Structure 1
């Protein structure tokens, strides 16, 4: 059964791994957008705008395609206006994890699915949170050395050794924490007559 082409507006390997679970044919095109905040006061608003813009940029170039954009912003309990970004360096990763130690960190993960030709657009934000253990500097340094989470908001990979840093993971859908809420994505794809499973 043929359907509109599907494009994942992302270069993220983790998001590609999540998409691959569905067994659909799709292509990846990275939307080159400026991801810096534009005065947003809450992580939800930043994540929502970025996911929407990523999908929109690609959707305008491929109007018949079903385009999937996603973005994630992390923040600590009580501070949704202070966004935790990707650490990019070992030193920053250690600092982030020291700040996360013994705290609850929230993840606002936005999803935007758009198809320009039909006027379809559905954008939403899902939440997930993790409670970090009280971590020693030695534990943090060992973890960063082994998992190299330098391109992960919050400085951990929950799908690998990052799981050892948590006391608890709380949410409806673990893929929300990984960067793309797959249960919601499947629901939206069904609306667009994509056959799943």
Structure 2
């Protein structure tokens, strides 16, 4: 709850069911509105820069249509060495991703933007952060990787594994300051941003 009598609307600028589930854990009323954006990386753009640009662009696009709201944008880019790893889309691409990543460390850049449409200075409307997660995958045979994919079908997940589900069995270890970042919405960073925007979580 905000201390004012009329708290601002809270909007998640996303169509992701994973992000909706994570934000729901905070117990705050919110709406989910998907922005219409081209998420293609720009030429020469680094993975962190791509994630931060898209997180801000998603929040700003929805905020433009819904002034005076608090809008949350987030984007995740997975990288193996210099290779960006996106959402596979189908079984064959997902298997190829898991084969490439097995026994190796993948860095997930989960960028977050909170856009405060109430800000008097538009230049200060956005809070931004990039939470990195380092994930080492187990060196598993093709048969296990194929069997996992047929069970969970994580074809809409960058990296082809749902760490919140059976995909955790593919992972050797995870290094992160925010365990929710890997699923797609860093709640530790987000609750800090919301507090700075005046949101209270415990009615005080």
Q: Which band: TM-score by shorter chain?
A: over 0.9
| Matched residue, 1:137 | 142
- For residues 156-195 of structure 1, what are the alpha-carbon distances to aligned partners after superposition, in whole Å with 9 as ceiling and x for unaligned? 0000000000111111111111101110100010011111
Cα deviation, residue 41, structure 1: 3.3
Conserved in 2, the CA contact under 8 Å of 1:40 and 1:46? no
3-state secondary structure, aligned to 2:132: strand
Q: Does 1:50 align with 2:54?
A: yes
How many angstroms does 1:143 deviate by? 0.5
Structure 1's unaligned 5+ residue stretches are: none
Normalised TM-score (structure 1): 0.96
The question of 1:17 aligning with 2:21 is answered yes
Q: Aligned partners of 1:196, 1:128: CA distance in 2, in Å?
A: 26
**How many residues are paired up?**
194
Q: How does 1:170-185 map to 2 (within 5 A)?
A: 170-185=175-190
User: What is the TM-score when the length of structure 2 is the normalising length?
Assistant: 0.93
* 2:169 equivalent to 1:164: yes
- Give structure 2 stretches of 5+ with no counterpart: none
For 2:27 and 2:67, the matched residues in 1 are separated by: 23
Q: Does 1:188 align with 2:156?
A: no
2:158 to 149, 153, 158: 153
Cross-structure match for 1:101: 102
Deviant stretches of 4+, over 6 Å: none
Cα distance, 1:116 vs. partner?
A: 2.7
Cα offset, 1:40, TM superposition = 4.0
Residue 89 of structure 2 corresponds to 88
Superposed, 1:112-127 pairs within 5 Å as 112-118=113-119, 119=122, 120-127=125-132
Aligned partners of 1:174 and 1:143: how far apart in 2?
Answer: 22
Q: Which one of the candidate residues 42, 65, 82 is aligned to 1:61?
A: 65
Cα-Cα RMSD: 1.0
Judged with a 3 Å threshold, the aligned counterparts in structure 2 of structure 1 residues 40 and 10 are, in CA distance, closer, same or farther, namely farther
* Partner deviation per Cα, 1:39-87 (whole Å, 9 max, x = no partner): 14321000001000000000111110000000000001x32xx210000
Q: Tell me, yes or no, if structure 1 residue 72 matches structure 2 residue 76.
A: yes
In the alignment, what sits opposite 1:111?
112
